[in-house]
C-alpha cells in the first residue's frame, strides 16, 4: 500500500510579484519579459527600490513545487522535499505548501541561509520580468530526502533544475536509485531549454536510468536532437517509457512504446504563458497516479494549462483546479 501518490524533489522559491512601469525596468537595466539570475546584493538592492511599489501577490514557487501543488489540490496525496532557510520566507514557503495539503520534510525551517526568492515585475501589458535569487535552495540534496516516504510513493517527480549543483544532483541520483529499488515510477520535467542546453551531461545521468515519464517542450526536444526535432524525439523515445512533448497552442503528443497519442489544445486567448508547463505536468501526474489512460491524463493537463494562460496569476486556485478535474474526469 502506497502512502503518497507523488513524491517530489525540487527547488523552493517564494514568488513576490510587484506592479511596476516600463521606466522602472529601464532604470534597473532589466529586459522586459526575460528571466535573470541575481545574487544576494542585487536581490537586496532590487527589493529596496521596490519599497514604494505594490506587492500584488506572494506564493510558494519553483517549477516542481508548482506542479505538485496543482496535483495535490486536485486530490493527489503529495510530499515535497526542498530546502529553505531559517527566515520568514522559509516559514512562509512551508506554510503555503502545507496549506495546499503537501507534506514536507520539516514543519519549520531547519537550515541556515536565505530562502530562494523570485521577484516578479509585472507591467501594465501583463509582461512578467523575473529576477531569481536561488539562495539556499541550490543546496537541496540528500539531507532533505525522506527515503521512507519516497519508498512508499507511487511516483517520484523531479525538475531538471536539480542538475545545476553537485549536491542537488547527488540527491536526485540517490532518489532515482531509491525509487528503482522500491518499484516507484520516475517522472522528470526538462523544465527549461537553457538547462537542457548547458547541463546535458548531468541530465544524461538521469536519462540512462530507464525513466518512466518525461515532460519536455519542442524547443527542448530540438536541443536534445542537436537541432533536429524528429531526431530529438527519436532519442528521447528510446530513453524513456512515456514521452510527453508539449507544443504550446498546438497541443501535445504522448509517445508510449510504438504508439503516439495527439492531445488537442483548448483554443483560448492566451494572456500569459508563465507556469503553463508546470501546471500541465501537475495535471498530468495527478491523473497518471489515479490510473487514468494516457489520453485522459493529457486532456486534463491541456485543459488546466489552457485555463492558466488566460490569466495573469501564476497558479489556479484549488477550487478552479477541482472544477477542471471534475469537468474532464467526470463528464
**DSSP sequence for 68-79:** HHHHHHTT--EE
SS3 211: strand
Residues 31, 129: contact at Cβ < 8 Å? Answer: yes
Place of cell 523570485: 118
Residues 104, 64: contact at Cβ < 8 Å? Answer: no
SS3 305: helix
pTM value surpassing 0.85: yes
Residues 222, 191: contact at Cβ < 8 Å? Answer: no
Residues 215, 284: contact at Cβ < 8 Å? Answer: yes
* pLDDT score for 331: 64
* pLDDT score for 222: 97
Alpha-carbon distance 7 to 187, whole Å? 10
* pLDDT score for 257: 85
Q: Does domain 4-329 have CATH number 3.40.50.2300?
A: no
* pLDDT score for 117: 95
* pLDDT score for 269: 86
* pLDDT score for 272: 77
Each of the 331 residues of the chain gets a pLDDT tens digit; together they read: 789 999 999 999 999 989 899 999 999 999 888 888 899 999 999 999 999 998 888 989 999 999 999 999 999 999 999 999 999 999 999 999 999 999 999 888 888 999 999 998 988 887 788 899 999 998 898 999 999 999 999 999 999 999 999 999 999 999 999 999 999 999 999 988 999 999 999 999 999 998 999 999 999 999 999 999 999 999 999 999 999 999 988 999 999 988 999 999 999 888 877 788 999 999 999 999 999 999 999 999 999 999 998 887 778 999 999 999 999 998 6
Amino acid at each position: 500500500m502506497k502512502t503518497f501518490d507523488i513524491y517530489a524533489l525540487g527547488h523552493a522559491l517564494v514568488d513576490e510579484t510587484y506592479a511596476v512601469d516600463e521606466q522602472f525596468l529601464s532604470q534597473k537595466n532589466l529586459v522586459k519579459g526575460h528571466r535573470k539570475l541575481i545574487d544576494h546584493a542585487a536581490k537586496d538592492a532590487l527589493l529596496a527600490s521596490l519599497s514604494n511599489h505594490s506587492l500584488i501577490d506572494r506564493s510558494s514557487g519553483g517549477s516542481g513545487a508548482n506542479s505538485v501543488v496543482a496535483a495535490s489540490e486536485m486530490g493527489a496525496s503529495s510530499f515535497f522535499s526542498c530546502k529553505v532557510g531559517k527566515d520568514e520566507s522559509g516559514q512562509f514557503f512551508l506554510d503555503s505548501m502545507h496549506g495546499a495539503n503537501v507534506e514536507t520534510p520539516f514543519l519549520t525551517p531547519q537550515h541556515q541561509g536565505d530562502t530562494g526568492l523570485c521577484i516578479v515585475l509585472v507591467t501594465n501589458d501583463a509582461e512578467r520580468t523575473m529576477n531569481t535569487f536561488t539562495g539556499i535552495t541550490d543546496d537541496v540534496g540528500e539531507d532533505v530526502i525522506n527515503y521512507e516516504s519516497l519508498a512508499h510513493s507511487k511516483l517520484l517527480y523531479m525538475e531538471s533544475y536539480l542538475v545545476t549543483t553537485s549536491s542537488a544532483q547527488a540527491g536526485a541520483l540517490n532518489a532515482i536509485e531509491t525509487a528503482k529499488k522500491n518499484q516507484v515510477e520516475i517522472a522528470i520535467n526538462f523544465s527549461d531549454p537553457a538547462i537542457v542546453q548547458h547541463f546535458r551531461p548531468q541530465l544524461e545521468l538521469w536519462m540512462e536510468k530507464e525513466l518512466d515519464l518525461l515532460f519536455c517542450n519542442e524547443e527542448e526536444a530540438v536541443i536534445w536532437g542537436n537541432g533536429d526535432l524528429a531526431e530529438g524525439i527519436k532519442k528521447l523515445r528510446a530513453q524513456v517509457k512515456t514521452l510527453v512533448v508539449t507544443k504550446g497552442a498546438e497541443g501535445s503528443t504522448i509517445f508510449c512504446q510504438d504508439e503516439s497519442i495527439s492531445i488537442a489544445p483548448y483554443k483560448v486567448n492566451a494572456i500569459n504563458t508563465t507556469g503553463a508547463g508546470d501546471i500541465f505536468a501537475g495535471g498530468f501526474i495527478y491523473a497518471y497516479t489515479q490510473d487514468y489512460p494516457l489520453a485522459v491524463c493529457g486532456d486534463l493537463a491541456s485543459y488546466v494549462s489552457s485555463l492558466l494562460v488566460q490569466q495573469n496569476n501564476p497558479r489556479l486556485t484549488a477550487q478552479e483546479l477541482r472544477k477542471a478535474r471534475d469537468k474532464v474526469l467526470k463528464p
